[in-house]
Amino acid sequence: MNPERPSALQTRHFETSVDLARKQSFSTSSIAGTKRSLSEDGFTSAAYVAKSQGAHVPSPNNNLGRTRFIHPSLSSTPNKRRLVASQIHSLPDAARIEDDFSEYSQRKAVSSTPGPSQNPLLSLQHPSYGLPSTLVANFASLGVNCIYPWQASCLLGRGHLTAEKNLVYSAPTGGGKSLVADVLMLKRVIEDPTKKAILVLPYVALVQEKLKWLRRVVEGVSKNVDDVSTQTQPPSSTSKPPPQHSIRVTGFFGGSKTRSTWADTDIAVCTIEKANSLVNTAIEECKIDDLGVVVLDELHMLDDEHRGYLIEIMVTKDIQIIGMSATLSNTEVLAKWLHANYYISKYRPIPIEEHLVYDNSIYPASNAKELFRTATQLNNSSPSQTTKASPCRVIDKSIYKELEYSMTNAMVSLALETVSAGYGALVFCGSRQSCQNNALILSDAMPEENMVDADILDRRMDLIATLQSLPCGLDPVFQKTITKGVAFHHAGLTTEERELVAVAYDQGILKILVATCSLAAGINLPARRVILCGARMGRELVGPAMLRQMRGRAGRKGKDEVGETYLCCQKDDLEAVGELLEAEIPAIASGLAPERRGMKRALLEAIATRLISSWDAINEYVERTLLYQTTEREDLMSMVESTLQELLESGLLEHKEDGSYKPTRLGQAVVASSFSPEDGVFIHDELKRALQSFVMDGEMHVFYMFAPLGSSLDIDWSAFRDEINKLDDSGIRALTLIGVKPAFVNSMARSSGTIKDPTLARIYQRAYTAFQLRDLSNEIPLSSIARKYDIPRGNVQTLAQTCHGFAAGMVKFCQRMGWDMLAVVLDHMRDRLQAGARADLLEMAQVAYVKSRTARLLWENGFRTLRALAEAEAKDLVPVLMMAQSRSTNPQDSDRLSTKLLAKAEIIVASANKLWECQLQMEHDEQGEV
């Protein structure tokens, strides 16, 4: 194809991403609100085609926006070394696609996003925001040089910057929602150093990402301590210590190793559960007045069946709230409930071009309504239909067996076209297995390694070496796909694997990322082109909110002028997808409704923390819930009365003489441990039984107690039977006391049946989980446990993190109940669970990267103490770390892996040094006190 000759669609004003790439010469727009800085490496797979044609190939450092890309020459003849993507043809008679950015109202007023030169209020330096120059400079260093008009309007809304009003707002994915909350939250903490902030996020991955971002934002920023010095207590006072100048940002989430408390932080970045626990602790300790603001990201999680009620409980406690989401439909109702101002923006800095792909044909759609209309027309097979959807491009059928299914063929062709134009593609699939399968197929169609830029290939090999240096070793699928620039991302991977893959894709080292829809609701990874392989998650259709989030990942701020989505659909799903595209986002409902059982926990927590006790106070408290906004008062009060009665009957509350309510010791223990009332009562019964005959000469009884109650882990009855057969007398006694019968497990292994009694099912499921926790605490590698029980290694890691949080709750529960001996035993085993090691390695396991098998190998090779590690040479640790690898290393990769392990060894030595110095200082202080 002659690159100077316009395509047929160009003459009709339709441009593909390849067409746009050829003629781009635009200046980079603002990337206000981005969560991480993005960079491109300048590599395109078109380079290998250009080289073969004798064309000049720009260096990797050239600006992508100014590079002319050559359309890939995709051969239609079989290639023995790799698959070849099918050609995509433009149709000469395709209808003109009108530019219809109806959702992007601010783009109609100006040709592009305005900047501070047009409107001074679009600079965070403007005096109206009152932000310190250091903070503004930090934002600029992270790519936030100016803000969008809607962000300025939202920030300058009455009472927002002065913390006088709550705020609820909605904006599309990628529209810069987070920046508004960041500015309001930071301004509050800076201007009033006596106040703290809590930022609530639904997933651990989001907490970890936000933690890194905020720590970079606040680096070098000081609070206005001098402004409040006159309000602080005199030096002789024994009350609060004076506030610190620096801003301390701390993460609280399941599996977190932080020992920080409420007193040690200014901004707490938390999961929903941890945030609720922090608020309850602050109320109980009479420190709730220290809390200045709570930011609720992903406010639509209020509707989550399992955790949404926790957000509502938090919000009912008279705290200033900032709530945001991309998928709110009843914003006005939520604002009324929260006594908040509300703001709705439909602006996206990067508009999205929508397409529907069906039977190897691509149909344009400027918005959701047109997508719905196209899907409906394609599903209507009536010959009398006068108006039919017309494709703008068609994809050749493939001669390869792997690509005979039209959706797979379309996915490969669209993804390869994107890569050939120099952009990244994000492919969404409905299951973990399909992610891996599609990643393998895509990698077979990517350029051979010798056609790839040498620097990019080197960085891919570094990524492989880093993945191989992890305790779980290198995934065999990654070994095949990463060198081709393709990877997959799903919950079956470990946290470290997901982070490494996401960063590599973000940096352009990987060109295609194949993910489950969980990525859409997780970390912020945009792409020029998003390809959806159907609209199902497993067997079920995704909801309209999730579909919107997946499509919203298209468009890289500061990199592209447009994003593209391609929804690939099969015949059976056309009607359902059409309805899904047309569907409104469901209204957010209260999690305290009777069928969700949240009211019982809400009332127990409020009474146990002494927020309320009398009937009048209970009424006032209930009136502050979202449920009050949507339920008849008479029905609601009746539900409250019955709920209180249930709490009395469960022994969690009791009546006082004046008719008010107070928590029992059990009720206080349940709230302190962050258990639900139902789970708390169950745990209390089990622990009471255990106190009468706790099996102390083994580990199984303790690990059973640590197994979480809500686990949905499927039991492999054959593996269960094999583990029981290996138990000693102590383990069998423990299982017998718990209520597990080996004969029943044998029977289930033969019949592969299911347990219908929910209480019995919970006991057996927890016992099965206890075996995995036992293995985790006895230095068995995570990958070995995953193979043993036939579950993804990411699930094993998640189980360990979940159980660590649950174990902490169990310890606190025992302490509140006065069962101190049991609390000590559980606390010791909790440390072992976190370390993944036996008791003799607990000190060593505090060191970074020294866990489980690595700790044991270091111990066996002479590094038995913190001091020994601190005084070691990093190079001397490399052979030991090499021994910890779960798979053998190819000779050609050993040097690269050794380099990675040497870097890890240096971190280990530095961490050991720091811990050893702290230990010496503590010993010195203790001697001084004596």
**pLDDT for 133:** 94
CB-count exposure of residue 401 (10 Å: 0-12, 13-18, 19+): exposed
Query: How many Cβ atoms sit within 10 Å of the Cβ of residue 107?
Result: 16
Question: CA-CA distance, 324 to 200, in Å (whole number)?
Answer: 11
Reported as a single tens digit per residue, the pLDDT across 804-831 is 888 889 999 999 999 998 889 888 888 8
Instruction: Kindly state the tokens that stand for 590.
Output: 């209260």
Question: CA-CA distance, 782 to 377, in Å (whole number)?
Answer: 51
Instruction: Kindly state the tokens that stand for 565.
Output: 């989505």
**pLDDT for 224:** 84
Average pLDDT value for residue range 880-891: 69
> Residue 354 in contact with residue 101, Cβ under 8 Å?
no
870 pLDDT higher than 70: yes
Most confident of 41-45, 311-315, 376-380, 892-896: 311-315
Instruction: Kindly state the tokens that stand for 878.
Output: 């490399």
Average pLDDT over the chain reads 81
Question: CA-CA distance, 848 to 910, in Å (whole number)?
Answer: 9
For residue 590, CA distances in Å to 307, 587, 605, 677, 710 come to 11, 10, 17, 19, 21
Q: At what angle do helices 633-649 and 615-622 cross, to 10 degrees?
A: 120
Question: CA-CA distance, 920 to 691, in Å (whole number)?
Answer: 39
CB-count exposure of residue 868 (10 Å: 0-12, 13-18, 19+): middle
78 pLDDT higher than 90: no
* 94-103, 265-274, 822-831: segment of lowest average pLDDT: 94-103
The structure's pTM equals 0.79
For residue 346, CA distances in Å to 321, 580, 644 come to 22, 20, 43
673-836: CATH number: 1.10.3380.20
Residue-range domain boundaries for the chain: 8-95+350-582, 118-228+242-344, 594-663, 673-836, 839-930
**pLDDT for 639:** 92
> Residue 382 in contact with residue 140, Cβ under 8 Å?
no
**pLDDT for 485:** 94
**pLDDT for 521:** 61
**pLDDT for 728:** 93
Local structure of 426: helix, strand or coil: strand
Average pLDDT value for residue range 406-423: 92
Give the pLDDT band of residue 615 (cuts 50, 70, 90).
Answer: very high
Q: Whose CA is closest to 481, among 444, 433, 519?
A: 444
- Report the CATH fold assignment for 594-663: Arc Repressor Mutant, subunit A (1.10.10)
**pLDDT for 693:** 85
8-95+350-582: CATH number: 3.40.50.300
Question: CA-CA distance, 192 to 622, in Å (whole number)?
Answer: 31
375 pLDDT higher than 80: no
Question: CA-CA distance, 445 to 770, in Å (whole number)?
Answer: 44
Question: CA-CA distance, 262 to 172, in Å (whole number)?
Answer: 33
439 pLDDT higher than 80: yes
Question: CA-CA distance, 376 to 185, in Å (whole number)?
Answer: 46
Three-state secondary structure along 28-48?
CCCCCCCCCCCCCCCCCCHHH
Report the chain's C-alpha Rg in angstroms.
Answer: 29
Most confident of 48-52, 283-287, 365-369, 378-382: 283-287
**pLDDT for 45:** 37
599 pLDDT higher than 60: yes
CA angle (100, 105, 107) in 5-degree steps: 80
Question: CA-CA distance, 886 to 474, in Å (whole number)?
Answer: 8
**More confident site: 66 or 682:** 682
**More confident site: 890 or 439:** 439
Classify each residue of 425-463 as buried b or exposed e, where b means 16 or more C-beta atoms within 10 Å of its C-beta: bbbbbbebebbbbbbbbbbbbbbeeeebbeebbebbbeb
Question: CA-CA distance, 247 to 640, in Å (whole number)?
Answer: 42
Classify each residue of 891-905 as buried b or exposed e, where b means 16 or more C-beta atoms within 10 Å of its C-beta: eeeeebbbebbeebb
Q: What are phi and psi of 771, to 5 degrees?
A: -65, -40
79 pLDDT higher than 50: no
> Residue 600 in contact with residue 309, Cβ under 8 Å?
no
**More confident site: 40 or 125:** 125
Instruction: Kindly state the tokens that stand for 788.
Output: 């043993």
Average pLDDT value for residue range 668-696: 91
CA angle (433, 438, 443) in 5-degree steps: 130
* 174-188, 375-389, 804-818: segment of lowest average pLDDT: 375-389
Instruction: Kindly state the tokens that stand for 554.
Output: 């298209």
Question: CA-CA distance, 741 to 731, in Å (whole number)?
Answer: 12
582 pLDDT higher than 90: no
Question: CA-CA distance, 518 to 428, in Å (whole number)?
Answer: 9
Q: Whose CA is closest to 348, among 560, 203, 135?
A: 560
CA angle (150, 154, 158) in 5-degree steps: 145
33 pLDDT higher than 60: no
For residue 524, CA distances in Å to 35, 175, 467 come to 7, 12, 21
**Is-same-fold flag (118-228+242-344; 673-836)?**
no
Q: Whose CA is closest to 407, among 577, 221, 655, 203?
A: 577
Question: CA-CA distance, 251 to 299, in Å (whole number)?
Answer: 19
Average pLDDT value for residue range 30-58: 36
Q: Whose CA is closest to 833, among 873, 863, 805?
A: 805
Three-state secondary structure along 54-91?
CCCCCCCCCCHHHCCCCCCCCCCCCCCCCCCCCCEEEC
Instruction: Kindly state the tokens that stand for 733.
Output: 């006694």
Give the pLDDT band of residue 306 (cuts 50, 70, 90).
Answer: confident
**pLDDT for 713:** 72
118-228+242-344: CATH number: 3.40.50.300
734 pLDDT higher than 60: yes
**More confident site: 328 or 293:** 293
13 pLDDT higher than 60: no
* 199-208, 533-542, 660-669: segment of lowest average pLDDT: 533-542
76 pLDDT higher than 60: no
**pLDDT for 619:** 92
- The percent of residues in the chain predicted with pLDDT above 90, rounded, is 35
